[in-house]
C-alpha cells in the first residue's frame, strides 16, 4: 500500500485550468500504472478572483480506502511534491481559509520536492521561501507564470512540462513512461509529449537545508473562541484622528482584524493622487471595499485589506492613475496617501520607479481586445 | 492545441459494460444525469458551489453533446418558478442552488410539492450568509424538509450520479409526483474528482421511462387549470394527499433501487449505508461526505478492538425510521453527528439528531442517543475528531456522559 500526493498552488482564475490539467494528468498517469487517483480543488475566497492563491491536489493510491482519508481533508498536509505555478507565491499564501500566511513549503513532506515555475535562480527563490525546519529539495522549471489553459491564452506546455518534471522528482508517484502515455492519450499532441520528456531530462533539484530560507515569522491571526468573540458579527468603528475637515471627531469604519486579505496578493495597486479626479469609481467597485476615504477626499486602497485583484486599475478612468505593480517591489503595507501627503515630490519619484517596469501581464481587464494585444506583443 | 475540454472527450476506457469511466466531480456527475435523462428545461442562476453544475451543463450544450432549453434566470426565485411551470406542461426539468440562493427561491420551493410537480434539484450545500462563508452546512437543503420535498444526501460523485437518476424515476412516478433534491456537500463533493462509471444512454433508457403527466399535463389538447384560488376548506385535504404521496414514495424508492441495482450492477441499500455494523455495539450516524472521516476513524478504532459501526442516512425524506430502528435497535448507544443546527430544539441537537432519537423512541429497548454538532461552515471533521466523538458515545453507553445534551466538536472555546 502506498499513497502519493501532489499539491498544486496556483494563482486563482488565470491558472485554474492549468492546475486542473496538471492534477488530472497525474491521475491519468497513475491509472496507466494500475493505481487509482482523485483530483480536487479547494476554494476559499470564491468565486476565485483574479490573483487569489488557490490550490488543487492530486492523490494516487493503490486502494479506495487510502483515498478516502484524503477526500475528507481540505488540505493533505504531507505532500510528496508541492508545485508552484507562479513564483510570486513563494512568499507564502493564504490557503483555504484566512488563517494568516502559510509558508509555501508548509504542507510539503520532509524530503519532498518544491517544484516552481520561475526564471529566478534557486538561490534567489530560497531567500523568499520560509525556513522549513526539515530538509527538502527545490527544483525549477524555467518559465514565466503561465496563463496557459485560460481560453484566451495560447498553450505554452507548462502543464506537461510540470508533469514531466514530476516524473523526475517523484517517480514513485508516476513514472515518465506513464506520464508520456497519459499526455498522448489526453492531448493527442506529440509536441506536448516531447516537451514533457525534455522537462523531465532537464529538471535538476537543489537540496535545501532545514535552516535555509527566510526567517521571517509568518503572520497569523488570533482566532477567538466563541466565549471570547463579540456576539452578532460586530466590528467596532475606529475613532477618527480628528482631522476630517468640517467634522469634529467621529469614526471611520473598522476592518475585521482577523480577516486581512493582503497575503493573497501577487500585485498591488499604486495610486497617482496628483492625477486622481476623485471620481469614486475605485471606491465603488473594489470587491473588498478596500478604499478608505482620506480627510482631503481622496480614495486610498488599504493595503491590509487589498487582495490585489486589479479591479480598481481596470475601472479607473484616468490614464495610469491606478497601476498594478508586482508585489515583490514592496516591503510593507504603509499608506500611499500618507507618503504622498508628507512629500509629494518624493512620492512622485517613488511612484515613477514602481510603475517603470509593469509586468507583462497585469490582472485587470483594461479594454476589449487587451488580451489579443498582449499575445501579439509576446509573440512579436 | 487546447487540452480536451469536455468530460466526454476524456473517456479513459470503459469496462465494456456500456459504462465509461471518467474522472469527474460530484457536480459534473450531476450534469451527466441532465444529459442522460435528456432533461428538457434547465434554469440557472450562479451561486457557489452549485454554479459548477451550470458550468458543466453549459459546456455540454456548447459542445453539442446535449440539447435543452437552458434559461439563465435573473434570480433563484425565477429559476425555480420557471422549472415549476415547465414541469406542469410535462417537461423534464432540472434546477439547483446553494445556501441563501436556495432560500431566495423559497416561495417557489414551498408550492412545488403542493402542486405535485416533480422536479430534480441539486443543492450544493453551503453555509447561510452572513458572514459570506462558502463551506458546507446542511441547513440550506434541510429547510424544505417539512414541505413535501424528498431529500437525500450523497457521499461520492458516483452516488450523486446514480441517485440523481433514481430521483428522476421516483419524482416522476405518478404515485409520487413530488420534487426531489440531491444534496452534495460543497467543496468536498462538488469540487472533488474521482473515477465515476458513467452509464450509456441505453442503460439509462432501460431504467428511466419518459415523464408522463397523463391527464394532469397542461396542454391545449388537455385543457386544465392548475392552482386556482381555493378557500380554506380545501387545504387540509390537499395536505393529506401530499402526505399520502410522501408515504407512497417509500415503496417507489425501494422499487427503483431494486431495478437500478439489477440493471446497473450496483448493490445499494435504498435508505441507508451500513458500515461495519455487523457486530457493532455502538454506532455513529451521519449524512453526506461526513462518511469519509467517519469510515477512516471506524477502521482505526476497529483495529483497536472497539466495536463501532457507522450508518449513513442517504434519504432524509422520506425519513427511514423503520430501517433505522432495525439497524440501531440493538446498539448500546448511538451518536448522531449533525452538520447542521436547530437552535432551541429538544436537547439542542441538530435536525438529524432529533429525527433519529424520535425514530428510536418507540422501540421497547431503545438505545441511548447522544447528539453532536460538527463541521459547520465547512470546518474539517478529522478522523481524530470522530474518535473523540466515539469515545463520548461509549461513555454515554456506560452512563458516564449526559445523553440529554448536545456536544459541539471542533469549536474554539
Ligand atoms: S484595492 Fe484594487 S486590487 Fe485591491 S482588492 Fe480593491 S479593487 Fe482589487
Ligand atoms: S478611480 Fe481613479 S480617478 Fe477615480 S477616484 Fe479612484 S483613483 Fe481617483
Region A315-343 average pLDDT: 91
> Do A22 and A169 share a domain, yes or no?
yes
* H or E element at residue B372: strand B368-374
C-alpha cell at A201: 531530462
Closest CA to A8 of A70, A115, A66, A84: A84
Q: What is the pTM of this model?
A: 0.91
Distance (Å, whole) CA A151 – CA A14: 9
Region B162-175 average pLDDT: 98
What pLDDT score was predicted for residue B9? 36
Does residue A160 fall inside a structural domain? yes
More confident residue, A87 or B258: B258
Look at domain B6-264 and name its CATH class: alpha beta
> Do A41 and A119 share a domain, yes or no?
yes
Distance (Å, whole) CA A336 – CA B262: 69
Helix (H, G, I), strand (E, B) or coil at A355: coil
Please give the mean pLDDT across all residues of chain A.
87
Does residue A325 fall inside a structural domain? yes
- Kindly state if the Cβ of A279 falls inside 6 Å of ligand 2: yes
Q: How many CB atoms lie within 10 A of CB B224?
A: 11
DSSP string, B376-390: GGG----HHHHHHHH
- Parse chain B into domains and list their residue ranges: 6-264, 272-408
> Do A251 and A186 share a domain, yes or no?
no
Identify the contact set of chain B against chain A, taking CB-CB distances under 8 A: 1-4, 10, 12, 23, 25, 46, 48-49, 51, 130-131, 134, 187-188, 191-195, 289, 292-293, 295-296, 299, 378, 380-383, 411-413
Quick one: fold of B272-408? Rossmann fold (3.40.50)
> Do A48 and A93 share a domain, yes or no?
yes
What pLDDT score was predicted for residue A43? 65
What pLDDT score was predicted for residue A12? 82
> Do A200 and A248 share a domain, yes or no?
no
Region B261-271 average pLDDT: 97
Distance (Å, whole) CA B299 – CA B285: 15
What is the band of B2 on the pLDDT scale with cuts at 50, 70, 90? very low
> Do A30 and A106 share a domain, yes or no?
yes
- Kindly state if the Cβ of A310 falls inside 6 Å of ligand 1: yes
More confident residue, B13 or A205: A205
- Name the residue facing A189 among B1, B48, B382 (closest C-beta): B1
Region B117-140 average pLDDT: 92
What pLDDT score was predicted for residue A288? 84
CA dihedral sign of residues B164, B6, B198, B26 = negative
> Do A194 and A249 share a domain, yes or no?
no
Does residue B129 surpass a pLDDT of 70? yes
Running DSSP on this structure, what letter comes out for residue B43?
A: E
> Do A200 and A331 share a domain, yes or no?
no
φ/ψ (deg, to 5) at A137: -110, 150
Q: What is the pLDDT of residues B179-189, one digit of tens each?
A: 999 999 998 99
Does residue A232 fall inside a structural domain? no
> Do A88 and A194 share a domain, yes or no?
yes
Closest CA to B185 of B111, B294, B99: B99
What is the band of B4 on the pLDDT scale with cuts at 50, 70, 90? very low
Q: Where are the beta strands (DSSP E) in B81-233?
A: 93-97, 120-125, 150-153, 180-185, 192-198
- Kindly state if the Cβ of A7 falls inside 6 Å of ligand 1: no
Structural domain for A90, as ranges = 4-208
**Residue to mutate, A280, A281, A294, A317, ligand 2, most ligand atoms under 8 Å from C-beta:** A281
More confident residue, B163 or A326: B163
ipTM of the complex: 0.90
> Do A174 and A253 share a domain, yes or no?
no
Does residue A73 surpass a pLDDT of 90? no
Region A245-258 average pLDDT: 72
Confirm if B40 and B221 have CB atoms less than 8 A apart.
no
What is the band of B225 on the pLDDT scale with cuts at 50, 70, 90? very high
Does residue A310 surpass a pLDDT of 90? no
> What's A343's domain CATH number?
3.30.70.20
Does residue B6 surpass a pLDDT of 70? no
Lowest mean pLDDT among B20-24, B61-65, B107-111, B228-232: B228-232
Region A346-353 average pLDDT: 96
Amino acid at each position: 500500500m502506498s499513497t502519493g500526493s501532489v499539491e498544486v498552488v496556483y494563482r486563482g482564475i488565470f491558472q485554474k485550468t492549468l492546475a486542473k490539467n496538471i492534477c488530472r494528468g497525474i491521475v491519468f498517469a497513475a491509472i496507466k500504472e494500475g493505481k487509482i487517483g482523485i483530483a480536487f480543488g479547494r476554494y476559499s475566497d470564491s468565486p476565485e478572483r483574479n490573483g487569489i492563491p488557490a490550490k488543487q491536489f492530486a492523490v494516487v493510491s493503490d486502494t479506495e480506502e487510502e483515498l478516502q482519508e484524503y477526500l475528507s481533508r481540505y488540505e493533505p498536509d504531507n505532500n510528496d511534491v508541492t508545485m508552484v505555478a507562479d513564483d510570486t507565491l513563494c512568499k507564502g499564501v493564504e490557503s483555504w481559509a484566512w488563517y494568516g500566511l502559510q509558508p509555501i513549503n508548509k504542507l510539503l513532506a520532509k524530503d519532498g520536492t518544491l517544484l516552481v515555475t520561475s526564471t529566478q535562480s534557486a538561490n534567489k527563490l530560497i531567500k523568499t521561501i520560509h525556513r522549513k525546519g526539515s530538509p527538502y529539495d527545490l527544483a525549477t522549471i524555467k518559465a514565466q507564470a503561465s496563463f496557459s489553459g485560460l481560453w484566451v491564452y495560447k498553450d505554452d506546455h507548462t502543464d506537461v512540462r510540470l508533469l514531466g518534471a514530476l516524473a523526475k522528482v517523484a517517480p514513485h508517484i508516476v513514472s515518465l513512461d506513464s506520464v508520456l502515455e497519459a499526455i498522448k492519450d489526453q492531448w493527442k499532441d506529440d509536441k506536448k509529449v516531447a516537451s514533457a520528456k525534455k522537462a523531465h531530462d532537464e529538471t535538476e533539484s537543489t537540496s535545501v537545508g532545514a535552516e535555509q530560507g527566510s526567517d521571517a515569522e509568518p503572520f497569523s491571526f488570533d482566532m477567538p473562541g466563541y466565549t471570547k468573540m463579540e456576539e452578532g458579527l460586530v466590528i467596532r468603528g475606529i475613532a477618527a484622528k480628528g482631522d476630517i475637515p468640517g467634522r469634529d471627531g467621529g469614526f471611520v469604519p473598522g476592518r475585521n482584524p482577523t480577516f486581512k486579505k493582503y497575503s493573497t496578493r501577487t500585485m498591488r495597486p499604486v495610486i497617482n493622487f496628483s492625477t486622481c479626479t476623485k471620481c469614486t469609481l475605485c471606491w465603488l467597485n473594489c470587491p473588498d471595499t478596500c478604499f478608505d476615504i482620506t480627510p482631503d477626499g481622496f480614495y486610498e486602497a488599504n493595503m491590509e485589506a487589498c487582495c490585489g485583484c486589479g479591479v480598481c486599475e481596470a475601472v479607473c478612468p484616468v490614464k495610469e492613475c491606478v497601476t498594478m505593480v508586482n508585489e515583490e517591489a514592496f516591503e510593507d503595507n504603509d499608506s500611499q496617501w500618507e507618503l504622498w501627503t508628507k512629500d509629494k515630490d518624493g512620492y512622485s519619484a517613488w511612484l515613477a520607479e514602481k510603475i517603470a517596469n509593469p509586468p507583462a501581464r497585469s490582472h485587470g481587464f483594461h479594454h476589449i481586445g487587451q488580451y489579443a494585444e498582449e499575445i501579439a506583443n509576446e509573440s512579436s | 492545441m487546447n487540452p480536451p475540454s469536455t468530460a466526454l472527450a476524456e473517456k479513459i476506457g470503459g469496462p465494456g459494460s456500456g459504462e465509461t469511466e471518467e474522472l469527474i466531480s460530484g457536480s459534473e456527475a450531476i450534469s451527466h444525469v441532465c444529459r442522460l435523462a435528456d432533461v428538457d428545461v434547465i434554469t440557472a442562476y450562479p451561486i457557489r458551489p452549485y454554479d459548477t453544475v451550470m458550468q458543466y451543463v453549459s459546456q455540454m450544450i456548447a459542445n453539442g453533446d446535449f440539447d435543452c432549453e437552458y434559461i439563465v434566470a435573473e434570480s433563484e426565485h425565477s429559476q425555480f418558478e420557471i422549472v415549476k411551470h415547465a414541469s406542469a406542461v410535462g417537461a423534464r426539468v432540472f434546477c439547483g442552488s446553494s445556501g441563501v440562493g436556495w432560500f431566495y427561491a423559497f416561495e417557489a420551493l414551498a408550492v412545488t410539492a403542493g402542486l405535485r410537480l416533480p422536479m430534480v434539484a441539486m443543492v450544493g450545500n453551503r453555509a447561510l450568509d452572513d458572514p459570506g462563508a462558502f463551506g458546507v452546512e446542511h441547513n440550506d437543503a434541510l429547510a424544505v424538509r417539512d414541505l413535501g420535498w424528498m431529500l437525500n444526501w450523497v457521499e461520492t460523485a458516483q452516488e450523486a450520479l446514480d441517485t440523481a437518476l433514481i430521483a428522476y424515476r421516483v419524482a416522476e412516478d405518478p404515485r409520487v409526483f413530488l420534487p426531489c433534491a440531491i444534496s452534495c456537500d460543497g467543496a468536498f463533493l462538488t469540487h472533488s474528482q474521482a473515477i465515476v462509471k458513467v452509464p450509456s444512454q441505453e442503460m439509462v433508457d432501460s431504467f428511466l421511462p419518459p415523464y408522463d403527466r397523463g391527464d394532469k399535463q397542461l396542454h391545449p389538447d388537455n385543457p386544465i387549470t392548475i392552482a386556482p384560488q381555493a378557500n380554506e376548506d380545501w387545504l387540509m385535504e390537499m395536505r393529506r394527499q401530499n402526505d399520502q404521496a410522501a408515504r407512497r414514495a417509500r415503496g417507489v424508492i425501494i422499487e427503483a433501487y431494486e431495478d437500478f441495482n439489477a440493471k446497473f450492477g450496483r448493490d445499494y441499500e435504498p435508505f441507508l449505508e451500513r458500515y461495519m455494523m455487523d457486530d457493532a455495539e455502538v454506532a455513529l450516524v451521519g449524512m453526506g461526505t461526513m462518511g469519509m472521516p467517519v469510515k477512516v476513524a471506524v477502521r482505526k478504532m476497529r483495529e483497536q478492538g472497539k466495536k463501532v459501526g457507522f450508518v449513513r442516512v442517504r434519504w432524509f425524506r422520506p425519513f427511514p425510521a423503520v430501517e433505522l430502528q432495525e439497524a440501531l435497535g440493538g446498539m448500546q448507544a448511538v451518536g448522531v453527528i449533525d452538520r447542521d443546527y436547530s437552535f432551541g430544539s429538544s436537547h439542542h441537537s441538530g435536525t438529524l439528531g432529533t429525527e433519529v432519537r424520535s425514530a428510536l423512541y418507540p422501540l421497547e429497548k431503545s438505545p441511548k442517543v447522544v447528539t453532536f454538532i460538527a463541521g459547520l461552515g465547512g470546518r474539517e471533521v478529522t478522523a481524530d475528531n470522530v474518535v473523540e466523538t466515539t469515545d463520548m458515545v461509549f461513555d454515554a453507553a456506560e452512563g458516564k456522559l449526559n445523553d440529554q445534551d448536545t456536544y459541539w466538536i471542533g469549536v474554539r472555546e
